[in-house]
Each structure stands twice: as structure tokens, then as C-alpha cells.
DNA sequence: CGTGGCTCCTGGCGGC
DNA sequence: TGCCGCCAGGAGCCAC
């Protein structure tokens, strides 16, 4: 599930459900998802404090506590935050559980254990240590262009590389390459500045549209290839059969007619 | 620097 | 019904 738009919706969800309430207990249900922090230290840093805000960077979500530390969440393929009251409402793959003084809970639910939870007092430092690039929604065109100028790889893999730009996953990348009419294997150093500008603008537009879809639970905008992204799917623009190619285990879908390789 | 292959993990689906 | 391989919106590591 989680690409940038999903994580943005998670941030809003946590803000809406779980801020400003004393944390009574912290339970680690699955130790393996903790990164560089023990259950004891995590509990010690959060218990008795209140969550007071969130910050999303790429696919990372920082949840700040008023004790000065931030809980870091990365959702992998299947993670999501779940708020509930009755203990029987705990999701089946709850890995980390906070209980608040008002009786509500916040669970980090993560079926495949590919997500992680960590703790940091320095969000910038944390991102730096992982060499995470600028957030895809925040990055200026200037920076975007400069970063891509140093890249020789194929558009699909370059854009999905979190060290280049943070937040774009498999689905979002397919959509924005479709919108910008770029073949996934196109090398970005061959793309003219006009087209690069288009790519940048489509990136923002697609991300904003998808966030909008999720938070208002609306369907995809017309013309999006995402709705047709399956074997046998047809291009919503020209009707041609979509093609798929593998990039290191991930499948990219594209329209062979609209997205020509130059 | 870039690519492809493998790994981590769980679960759902289709094929035999 | 059972078993098997494949696939899934993520990412790190390693060999080349």
C-alpha cells in the first residue's frame, strides 16, 4: 500500500486520532520491526508523554512526542496505523501498540513485517543517515533537475530510488511516467528540459491528486492509467494494450503507443 | 554509477 | 482438498 500519498494520509490519520493524550503504555508485539531501539528504551521515551505532531518525508512518518523524541515509522508494503478503543479491536498484525489515557489505542499494523519502527531525537540526522533524497512534494524544480542531471539510469528505477527523490513507489511512478509520456526505460539524461519540466509538474499533480483521492475516498481521476494497471489492461488515452516489464522484481505497466522510447 | 538477482516476510490466488 | 509457485504499492545487499 504505502507510497507517499498513503503515508500522507496516515500522517493526517494519526493527527486526527492520537494527539495530545497522555500515553499510558507502549507494547512491542514484534521485536523484529524495531530498528536500533529496544522495547524498553522506546517505552521509556514515550510513556507519560503525549504525541504532539507529525512530519512526513517521502515514505517516512515521524510522530513527535512532547518528550523530545520522535517515533519513526516506515510502512513497508503492508503497514498502516490503526486507531481503536475496545481492545478486541486490535488488528491481527499489530506490531506496536500505544494505549492512551482516554482508553483509545494506536497500533502499527504490519502484516508482512517489512515495515520498521524507530526512535530519534534528530529527524534530519535520521534521514541523512539513510541518505534519503528530498521529498517529492517539497523538492524545487531547480533541485529536481540538478539531481536528475547526475543520473544515467532508466527513468523508472531512478524515480523509484529513494536516495534520488523520496516518496515515489511502483504505482505512482507508473502513473507519472504515463502522464509525462515517458517510456520507463528512457534514460533521463536524454530527456530535454521541457519534458523534464513536464515530468516535475506531473509528479506534483499526480501526488496531490492521489492524496486527494485517499483522504476524500474518491475514485481516481479520469484518464489515470492506475485504474487499468493489470494484465490485459488498456490505455485510457489511446486504447492500446498496456505492456509490462520487470525492473528487478517489480512490474512496470506502460502504454507502448503513448510512451515511446526516443 | 547502474543493473539484475537475491533476501527479508506473510498471505491470497490460480493451476495441477 | 492439498500443495506449489507466483505475486504483492518496500528496500537493503552483493556481484558484476
Distance A157 CA to B1 C1' (A): 13
**A183, pLDDT greater than 80:** yes
User: Looking at residue A241, what DSSP letter applies?
Assistant: B
Distance A191 CA to B12 C1' (A): 40
> What angle is formed at CA A175 by the lines to CA A170 and CA A177, rounded to 5 degrees?
95
Secondary structure tally for chain A: helices H, strands E: 7, 10
Query: Among A97, A8, A11, which Cα is nearest to A54's?
Result: A11
Q: What is the pLDDT of residue A115?
A: 97
- Classify residue A243 as left (phi > 0), alpha (psi -120 to 50) or beta: beta
Strand A116-120 and strand A70-74: the pairing is antiparallel
Check: CB of residue A92 under 8 Å from CB of residue A29: no
Residues 196-225 of A near strand B (Cβ < 7 Å)?
Answer: none
Which cell goes with A189?
A: 539524461
Strand B–CB A190 distance below 7 A = no
Burial label, A217 (beta-carbon count in 10 A; 0-12, 13-18, 19+):
exposed
**A262, pLDDT greater than 90:** no
**Residues A54-67: tens digit of each pLDDT:** 999 999 999 999 99
Distance A244 CA to B4 C1' (A): 17
Distance A95 CA to C5 C1' (A): 28
Check: CB of residue A152 under 8 Å from CB of residue A187: yes
Q: Give the bases of strand C that a protein CB approaches within 7 Å.
A: 7-12
Q: Give the bases of strand B that a protein CB approaches within 7 Å.
A: 1-11
Burial label, A113 (beta-carbon count in 10 A; 0-12, 13-18, 19+):
middle
- Classify residue A213 as left (phi > 0), alpha (psi -120 to 50) or beta: alpha
Mean pLDDT of the region A123-150: 97
Measure Cα distances from A193 to A30, A113, A200, A238, A259 in Å: 48, 41, 10, 26, 17
Distance A34 CA to B9 C1' (A): 15
**A179, pLDDT greater than 80:** yes
Check: CB of residue A13 under 8 Å from CB of residue A90: no
Check: CB of residue A237 under 8 Å from CB of residue A223: yes
pTM over 0.95: yes
Within its chain, how far is the Cα of A80 from the centroid?
11
| Start-to-end C-alpha separation, chain A | 32
**Residues A78-108: tens digit of each pLDDT:** 999 999 999 999 999 999 999 999 999 999 9
Amino acid at each position: 500500500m504505502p507510497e507517499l500519498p498513503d503515508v500522507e494520509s496516515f500522517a493526517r490519520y494519526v493527527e486526527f486520532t492520537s494527539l495530545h493524550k497522555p500515553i499510558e503504555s507502549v507494547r512491542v508485539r514484534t521485536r523484529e520491526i524495531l530498528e536500533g531501539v529496544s522495547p524498553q528504551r522506546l517505552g521509556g521515551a514515550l510513556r507519560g508523554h503525549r504525541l504532539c505532531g507529525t512530519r512526513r518525508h517521502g515514505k517516512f512518518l515521524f510522530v513527535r512526542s512532547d518528550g523530545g523524541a520522535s517515533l519513526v515509522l516506515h510502512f513497508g508494503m503492508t503497514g498502516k496505523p490503526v486507531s481503536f478503543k475496545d481492545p478486541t479491536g486490535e488488528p491481527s498484525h499489530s506490531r506496536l501498540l500505544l494505549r492512551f489515557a482516554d482508553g483509545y489505542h494506536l497500533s502499527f499494523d504490519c502484516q508482512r513485517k517489512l515495515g520498521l519502527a524507530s526512535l530519534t531525537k534528530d529527524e534530519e540526522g535520521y534521514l541523512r543517515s539513510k541518505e534519503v533524497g528530498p521529498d517529492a512534494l517539497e523538492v524545487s524544480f531547480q533541485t529536481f533537475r540538478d539531481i536528475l542531471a547526475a543520473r544515467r539510469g532508466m527513468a523508472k528505477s531512478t524515480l523509484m530510488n529513494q536516495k534520488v527523490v523520496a516518496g515515489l513507489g511502483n504505482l505512482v511512478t507508473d502513473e507519472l511516467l504515463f502522464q509525462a509520456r515517458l517510456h520507463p526505460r528512457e534514460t533521463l539524461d536524454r530527456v530535454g528540459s521541457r519534458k523534464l519540466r513536464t515530468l516535475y509538474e506531473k509528479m506534483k499533480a499526480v501526488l496531490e491528486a492521489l492524496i486527494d483521492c485517499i483522504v476524500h475516498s474518491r475514485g481516481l481521476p479520469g484518464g489515470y492509467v492506475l485504474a487499468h494497471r493489470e494484465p490485459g489492461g488498456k490505455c485510457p488515452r489511446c486504447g492500446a494494450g498496456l505492456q509490462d516489464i520487470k525492473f528487478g522484481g517489480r512490474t512496470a505497466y506502460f502504454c507502448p503507443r503513448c510512451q515511446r522510447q526516443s
